[in-house]
A and B are shown apart, each in its own frame.
Chain A
Amino acid sequence: MSKTIWVLIEIEDGKAARSSLEVLGKAAQLSRAEAIVLGSSAAQVAPTLGEYGAEKVYVHEDVTYDNYLTLPAVDTISELLKQHQPALLMLATTYDLRDIAARLNVRNNMGLVTDATDLAFDGDTVQVTVPWGGENVVTATLPQQGTGIVLTRPKAFGVEQFAGRTAEIETLNPSISAESQQIKILDRVELPSEGPALEDASVIVSGGRGLGKAENFHLVEELAAALGGAAGATRAIVDAGWLPYSYQVGQTGKTVKPTLYIACGISGAIQHLAGMKGSKYIVAINKDEHAPIFSVADLGVVGDTLTILPQLTQEVKRRKAH
């Protein structure tokens, strides 16, 4: 009998979150994938998960999951683990899922590997690939007994389509304890940001300190607009207050994997590279020829960002018009 992998699906705006679908697709490529979906739109999301790889979906439509932080989900999954023993629980790396993973691990004595970029079954063991210290990768294994948990990095996998697959739906009816309803969510506020969302953009133009001052960031935005992409930023200029956090690319910001990433006035600190080096093509403009960004760039230009950027925007517009 093939091994079963569970994937907890997060809901965003009434739909399955892209990050969760990436994980579900990978799970379905590895083995039999089953999804768990909890919350107020759960019943609506569940039937859509077959085409993203789920063979079965456990559903509990209950607003409690939306109103209280993580603990109700930990209760329900712990309960489900008493009835079934999947080989693995795979989760995307998000604030809530990280929290859920840690709590499940302790409560059920499971075994947890975080930050995975790949995983595979080797006989009965799960081999998990984890980048470590920039230049190394660690292969970790989880116990053969019981269910292990793996948190995977954002954008480690693409969303996969499984045309014609329909998931069997099982409606759960767990009891959520009163203890798990203590951290109440009072309000949700969305940070507004213009242009396409960074994580979904196929072209990203990012700026860093090399732009000199906040007033020059429009040069980055104009090139991004000309290319139909999104504008991003380094932590340095977000910390300096030039832009809101929603623009930040890197280890403590967003992980992106666009087709094209243009780095403008960015030296390429390892924390920034961690968030963008999976991009298909990287172009870098920087005045320091020793900047580490050039070590990952397909095309690097040593020169003045403020001079080259407007010229490039003009040239892109000119060629697109033809």
Chain B
Amino acid sequence: MGAKKKPFTQLTLADLDIDPSQVGEAGARERIAAIGQAEARAAGQVIKDDGNSAQVIADFLQRHQLL
């Protein structure tokens, strides 16, 4: 890969004329206050198709007034 042979120049903030207080953590205006677990969606019922699944699904829809 040609990219590996290219010169690698490291610049400092001063080279770029950037005020250190404006970048990185010091410059960030947003803070992370907490990290927690997302509420998981509870898994429901899983059935194996025995040729009757259309009925089971339609019953489910009717039970929840979705038909």
Contact = CB atoms under 8 A, between A and B. Distances in A.
Contacts of A320: 67
Interface residues of B, number: 31
Contacts of B60: 283, 298-299
A139 interface: yes
A296 B40 CA distance: 9
Contact of B43 (A296, A301, A304): A296
A90 interface: no
Interface of A: 109-113, 127, 131-132, 134-143, 148, 203, 227, 259-260, 277, 281-283, 285, 289, 294-304, 307-308, 311-312, 314-316, 319-320
Q: Give the dominant DSSP class at B's interface.
A: mixed
Interface string B35-67: 111101101111111000111111011101011
B32 interface: yes
A135 B46 contact: no
Contact of B45 (A298, A304, A312): A298
B35 A301 contact: no
B13 interface: no
Contacts of B58: 312, 315-316, 319
A281 B64 CA distance: 9
Contacts of A136: 35-38
